[in-house]
Structure 1
Amino acid sequence: MRLTRYKPQQLSAEQRLLYDEIAGGRRSQGRQRFPLVGDDGALEGPFNSMLLAPKLGFALQALGSAIRYGANLSPRVREVSILMVASKWNCEFEQRAHEPLAFDCGISTAEIEGIRSGRSPVGQTPAEQAAFEVSRCLINDADLADDEFERYSTLLGADAIFELSTLVGYYSTLALQLRIFRV
């Protein structure tokens, strides 16, 4: 790990506001599949690095919260897409954090292994398959060809394509930060 684990007593007032938003906000409510705060009081995963630039950290964590709690993507589509990003960026933390959430959505161990190999999970609805293909295009090509956009916007709607592109961008950003700071 290349970054200090910032404990609450070390934080500036602005950093402490961000810490409290992450550690005590919506993310902390309900069933937790990975800890937001470690035994030493420091934020876990991508959240500790957000304290380096609190203004950006607030915006980034708000975007993540909006994707998780405000988007219209089904939990299954969301978790498949996140695991695809984690696989692309070889991001162990995202993989570890989101595999249990994928299991909760009915995605099997074999399907998760398939996602790592670029295969679509079995038993997907046509909309889920389309979302998988959109995510694959965004992750591998950072684009959709005109015919793909037409086909997938007809199947999913432009709003779902927007949400998927936002999700892929957000989790790619986190994967990059996690890699840079060796989390």
Structure 2
Amino acid sequence: MTDRLRPIPPSEMTEAQRRAAQAVIEGPRGALYGPFVPLLRSPELLENAQRMGEYLRYRSAIGIRLSELAILVTARQWNQGVEWAIHAPIAAQVGVPPEVINAIARRERPASMLVDESVVHDFCIELHQTKEVSDRTYADAVALFGEQGVVDLMGLNGYYTFLAMVMNTARTEIPVSSAPPLPK
């Protein structure tokens, strides 16, 4: 499949696109890649999306390790190879065990997770598959993370679903990664 919304050469960018691209490049990501390439066609949407993503990815109330776990579950649910290629190595670096990452890739519930990982995993799976979260899973999440953590967890699922929709539609090219590609 061909990437439908390839990078825009800097010489062809509008002023608004240049400003939006520069904001991403100057932020913690350090480069314009993945979903931000197709989103550049709508600079204001890109600017707002990248600000939300910066908060959710780097400063959410549940912390980076659990945010990365939620991102992996979302990427798997949407068969999103770009997000998987980017975030599986990051998840491993921040402490998500390889057996957890591999089980998620196979669409299996990981056998051995820490309590907080189990709650995040189950919350995300329920939200994606049933479009709601059971009272028990919700209560477990609030007990561990508080209401702000639960809202941030919902935000992570929604934000990375949005990015998956963008990249699946744009057919964004999967980058070279140390992570094996998602199985079909």
Q: Give, in angstroms, the shift of residue 160 of structure 1.
A: 1.2
Using the TM superposition, give the Cα deviation of residue 74 of structure 1 relative to its aligned residue in structure 2, in angstroms: 2.2
Percent of pairs with identical residues: 27
Unaligned runs of 5+ in 1: 29-35, 37-42
Amino acid at match of 2:5: L
Q: Which runs of 5+ in 2 are unaligned?
A: 173-184
1: distance between equivalents of 2:140 and 2:98? 30
2:36 & 2:111 partners in 1: Cα distance? 29
**Is residue 128 from structure 1 mapped to residue 83 from structure 2 by the alignment?**
no
**What residue is the counterpart of 2:98 in the other structure?**
109
Q: Does 1:2 align with 2:18?
A: no
SS of residue matched to 1:120: coil
- Shift of residue 9, structure 1, vs aligned partner: 1.6
Query: Deviation above 3 Å: which 4+ runs of structure 1?
Result: none
Shift of 1:135: 1.4
Deviations 1:128-152 (CA, angstroms, capped at 9, x unpaired): 3212221121121221133432343
CA distance, structure 1, for counterparts of residue 130 and residue 146 of structure 2 = 20
Match in the other structure for 1:40: none
Aligned-residue Cα RMSD (Å) equals 1.7
Equivalence for 1:119: 109
TM-superposed CA distance for 1:51, in Å, is: 1.0
- C-alpha deviation, 1:122, in angstroms: 2.4
| 1:49-68 mapped onto 2 (5 Å cutoff) | 49-68=38-57
Partner amino acid, structure 2, of 1:26: P
TM-score, with structure 2 as normaliser = 0.84
Tell me by how many angstroms 1:121 deviates: 6.2
* Residues 173, 150 of structure 1: alpha-carbon distance in 2 compared, 3 angstrom cutoff: same
- Number of residue pairs aligned between Structure 1 and Structure 2: 169
Aligned partners of 2:60 and 2:67 also within 8 Å? no
Indicate if the aligned counterparts of 1:73 and 1:160 stay in contact, CA closer than 8 A: yes
Q: Which amino acid aligns with 2:19?
A: L
Deviation string, structure 1 residues 23-54 (Cα, Å, up to 9, x no partner): 122321xxxxxxx3xxxxxx321011111111
**Which of 141, 160, 180 is residue 152 of structure 1 equivalent to?**
141
- Alignment partner for residue 67 of structure 2, among 63, 78, 81? 78
Q: 1:151 to 1:102 in 2, by over 3 A?
A: closer
Q: Who is 1:94 aligned against?
A: 83
Question: Which residue pairs with 1:31 in the alignment?
Answer: none
Cross-structure match for 1:39? none
Give 1:142's aligned residue: 131
Give the stretch that moved more between structures: 132-141 or 48-57. Answer: 132-141
What code does the residue aligned with 1:169 have? G
State the distance in 1 between where 2:111 and 2:46 align: 33
Q: Which amino acid aligns with 1:11?
A: M
CA contact (8 A) 1:131 1:156 kept: no
Q: Is the 8 A contact 2:99 2:110 kept in 1?
A: no
